[in-house]
Amino acid sequence: MLKVKLLCRDLWEKMVVINNMTDTKDLVIYGAGGLGREILSLIRRDYADEWQVVGFIVDCSDRPDMVEGVPVFSPEYLKTAGLAVVFGFADTHQKNKRLTQLECCNNLSFPNILSRQAIVSPDAKLGKGVVVTDFCNISTKATIGDAVFINMGTLIGHDVVIERACSIMPQCAVSGFVKVGQETFIGAHSFIMQGKNIGKDVTIAAGSVVCRDVDDGGIAMGNPAKVLKRK
């Protein structure tokens, strides 16, 4: 009788493992550089029971066969049915371009990947394809647009609006009521003062302290930041 019970328990445990494996959904990371590998590590740690990373997508023809034990495919692989896509590169223009091309494909979805070690207010609004990594804090009433990447230790204040396809590097602070336009890049250790309006396609250099509004296409750098026009 004991042997029968042990056999039944063993079979049940194997069935649980099989069921857990089949419950995961296939996901690809677009981009196999540093940010892509960071997202892979985050998913393996926090979402192993939900997402199975089946590949990286790389545009260039001289792509490697494998990265971090994961196969690398051309964009043709995105025709696969039932596939989820996360963007793993910081170039805001290319990210917006790729998202625009892909979001009309009925076979693709764009899940949010939020670190279990991040704090996201319950009343924050997130679009699709948002990535928030470790130790970030997104405060009350913040609005985060599609395909925004927020890297480690960044603080997003109350009532902030960050529009589509922005990339925010580690340990930035965006104060309350700030608005950031689409395709804007914010370099590491930058600070944006409360209530400022940052236009679209803006670049904020690493370590900058932004004390005034920045028009579309501007480049802000320094402490306090000087605003230059893009040539």
Residue 1 has pLDDT above 90, yes or no: no
Predicted structure pTM score: 0.88
Q: pLDDT tier at 23 (50, 70, 90 boundaries)?
A: confident
Residue 101 has pLDDT above 50, yes or no: yes
Q: Say what the pLDDT of residue 3 is.
A: 44
DSSP 182-231: TT-EE-TT-EE-TT-EE-TT-EE-TT-EE-S-B-TTEEEEETTEEEEE--
Closest CA to 57 of 81, 78, 80: 78
Same CATH fold assignment for domains 2-109 and 113-218: no
Residues with Cβ within 8 Å of 177's Cβ and at least 6 positions away in sequence, in order, are 157, 158, 159, 160, 194, 195
Instruction: List pLDDT tens digits, range 53-69.
Output: 999 999 998 999 999 99
Residue 174 has pLDDT above 50, yes or no: yes
Q: What is the mean pLDDT of the chain?
A: 92
Residue 152 has pLDDT above 80, yes or no: yes
Q: Say what the pLDDT of residue 205 is.
A: 97
CATH 3.40.50.80 fits 2-109, yes or no: no
Task: Provide CATH code, domain 113-218.
Answer: 2.160.10.10
Mean of pLDDT values over 119-129: 98
Q: Say what the pLDDT of residue 5 is.
A: 37
How many distinct helices (H) and strands (E) make up the chain?
3, 25
Mean of pLDDT values over 27-45: 98
Q: Say what the pLDDT of residue 68 is.
A: 96
Mean of pLDDT values over 170-199: 98
What are the sequence ranges of the domains in the chain? 2-109, 113-218
Q: Say what the pLDDT of residue 9 is.
A: 43
